[in-house]
Amino acid sequence: MSARILVVDDLAPNLHLLEVKLQAEYYDVLTAKSGYQALEIAGKEKLDLILMDAMMPGMNGFEACEKLKQNPETWHIPVIMVTALEETKDRIRGLEAGADDFITKPIDDFNLMARVRSLLRLKMVTDQLLSHTGHTRSNSRPLLERIQQKNGNILLVEDHKLRAEKIAAPLEKNHKVFTEADPVKALRRAKTGVDLIIVSLVSDGFDGLRVCASLRFNEASREIPILVVGDPEDEQRLIRAYDIGINDTLMRPIELQEMQARVSTLLRRKFYADSLRENFNENLEMVVADPLTGLGNRRYFNRAIDPFFGALEDKGEAFSIMVFDIDHFKRVNDILGHDMGDQILKEVATRLVTHMRAVDVVSRYGGEEFMIAMPKTSEDEALIAADRVRSLIAGTPIYVDGQALHITLSAGVAEVDKGEDLRGVFKRADTALYKAKQAGRNRVVSAKSSGKKAA
């Protein structure tokens, strides 16, 4: 499972509908029928996200959200408020209660999953930052609030003057906004300390998708979050934008509070990631990091999974490991050169981290081989997660210096047995990987099954 999500709604049909939608995306879903029950579950379970209905009897969603954000053990969990209310004052109330985002009923699947993915990425970066700085959830709030108070540099790519002013004016109260109508100038501006890029998909003067693709091709702007503005009926272009690598969407007509929530989430993620990189570079634990990808190396992995073995022996908590290997990587290096190979390794590493849970341990184990440990995960669950990641990477090209490269991975998956050491489980997973390679590559094989073929 890629994340654990709590859905809170007093109406069983609504609860079941959201549960089914999220489980279809392989999320681990818990449910609660009241604000009181939500607080109880949040205090006991490790959650990555909460979807909270605003209007419930007893304690409503606003009150429950406020209590979650006041608790030092739960304040860090992102909350999406789900509401049928359309008045601006109700959205403001949700944001003032501490909600990170909101969606309006009837719930649109595309909008729901976009919000969920965006906030899960934020949660992942937050967890990584706290882990590397040594902060606990209860003492980390001053650190994160200090980072959040930074003003951002926002680049707006829009050639319609009135539309540009409508977006820029409210954001300029807290941030510096640079508007560019010319996409060529915008690409140059993106290389000069920008924290967020907003791109219009409704411009008549340029192709917004092409601008997004160019931003992702260019190494200087590849890591900058992109928010696109589009029309809700143009779903195919919005889906294509996600394929290119944008981070979030904002639908027209633009609602002020919604825009501010989207911008806030993306800037927080950028600032947390920047702080994480700064801390990572300064930390003595660089000795256990792979200098090319920034992932932990073999030594880091071996040390990081020690607690998983303890939990297996003491509590019977299952955990599994995956061994990923880039297919035909030697051929890539021989034909395209080692510099291109290094760029591919970095992009694969980024995608692996993005599509795994914050609690999973992801490392570059050597060469083109990556190792991932998934706590509290059976072999069957790990197989599903590994095949999903394999499919996502195979289905989306990696762009290096403007070239679209189709890269595939093979993987072996094994659940750790009681009494087994790392060498034993690695051997079983590596044997499964070898079988995946023999079977034609671009597939995942479990230690106890014949594996899954690529689509």
What's the CATH number where 202 sits?
Answer: 3.40.50.2300
Tell me which of 137, 168, 198 is where a domain ends.
137
As a whole number of angstroms, the distance between CA 77 and CA 144 comes to 13
| Backbone φ, ψ for residue 230 (5° rounding) | -145, 180
> Do 200 and 162 lie in a common domain?
yes
Cα radius of gyration rounded to whole Å, the chain: 22
392 plus 406 within the same structural domain: yes
| Residue 56 vs residues 53, 83, 90, 204, 248: alpha-carbon distances, Å | 7, 10, 14, 45, 29
Q: What is the pLDDT of residue 124?
A: 82
In a domain, 125, yes or no: yes
> With a cut of 70, which residues of the chain have pLDDT below it?
1-2, 85-88, 132-138, 276, 279-287, 450-455
Q: Which residues pair with 298 in a beta bridge?
A: none
The Cα–Cα gap between 58 and 280 comes to 45
First to last CA, the chain: 20
Bridge-based pairing of strands 101-104 and 226-230 is unpaired
List residues with catalytic annotation: 368
Domain match, 276 and 293 both: no
**Residue 143, in any domain of the structure:** no
Contact yes or no for 323/433 (Cβ under 8 A): yes
Q: Is 313 helix (H, G, I), strand (E, B) or coil?
A: helix
Q: Given the structure tokens 């109880």, which residue do they identify? A: 40
Same domain, 352 and 440: yes
- Domain end point (choices 253, 281, 309): 281
Contact 153, 178 (CB under 8 A): yes
Domain match, 97 and 198 both: no
Residue 79 is encoded by which pair of tokens?
Answer: 């909350």
Please report the pLDDT score of residue 317 as a whole number. Answer: 93
Structural domain includes residue 236? yes
| Residues 270 and 405 occupy one common structural domain | no
CB count, 10 Å around CB of 60? 18
Q: 415 - beta bridge partners? A: 320
Place of tokens 């990696």: 398
Residues 370 and 224 in one domain: no
Instruction: Report yes or no on 131 lying in a domain.
Output: yes
Q: Which of residues 115, 137, 159 is at a domain's end?
A: 137
Residue 18's CB: how many other CB atoms inside 10 A? 21
Count how many domains the chain has. 3
Query: What does DSSP say about strands 79-83 and 319-326: parallel, antiparallel, or unpaired?
Result: unpaired
Query: Do 123 and 183 sit in the same domain of this protein?
Result: no
In a domain, 210, yes or no: yes
**What confidence score (pLDDT) does residue 142 get?**
78
The values of phi and psi at residue 194, to 5°, are -90, 140
Residue reference for tokens 């184990």 = 365
What is the reported pLDDT for 19? Answer: 94
pTM for this prediction: 0.55
What pLDDT shows up at residue 454? 40
Are residues 20 and 45 located together in one domain of the fold?
A: yes
Residue 112 is assigned to a structural domain of this protein: yes
Per the domain annotation, does 237 fall within a domain? yes
309 and 296, same domain (yes or no): yes
Residues 228 and 133 in one domain: no
Range of the domain at 66: 4-137
On whether both 229 and 120 belong to a single domain, the answer is: no
